Amino acid sequence: MAIDYRQLAELRDTLARHDVAYLVIGKSGALLHGFPDTTQDADLFIRKTPDNGRALVKALRGLQFDLSDQEAQDIERGKDFVQLKNGPFDIDLVFAPDGIERFEDAWTRGVEVDGIPVCSLDDIISSKQAANRVKDRETLPRLIAFREYQRQRNTRRKRLGTLPDNRPRRALEV
137 lies in some domain? yes
Write down the pTM of the prediction: 0.87
Nearest by Cα to 115 from 4, 10, 37, 2: 10
Q: Tell me the per-residue pLDDT of 70-117, one tens digit each, with 9 for 90 and over.
A: 999 999 999 999 999 999 999 999 999 999 999 999 999 999 999 999
Q: Does residue 62 form part of some domain?
A: yes
Domain that holds residue 40: 5-160
Residue 169 confidence class, pLDDT cut points 50, 70, 90: very low
In a domain, 130, yes or no: yes
Q: Tell me, yes or no, whether 106 lies in a domain.
A: yes
Residue 168 lies in a domain: no
Strand order, beta sheet including 111-113: 81-84, 90-94, 41-46, 22-24, 116-118, 111-113
166 within domain boundaries: no
Cα 28 to chain centroid, rounded: 6
In sequence order, what DSSP letters do the residues of 64-122 get, joined into one string? T----HHHHHHHHHT-SEEEE-SSSSEEEEESS-TT---HHHHHHH-EEETTEEE--HH
Residue 59 is given by DSSP the state H
- Kindly report the CATH number assigned to the domain that includes residue 73: 3.30.460.40
Q: Are 122 and 151 in contact (CB under 8 A)?
A: no
Integer angstrom CA distances of residue 87 from 7, 44, 73, 138, 141: 11, 15, 17, 29, 32
> Does residue 162 register a pLDDT over 80?
no
* 171 inside domain: no
Total number of domains constituting the chain: 1
Residue at 116 is within a domain: yes
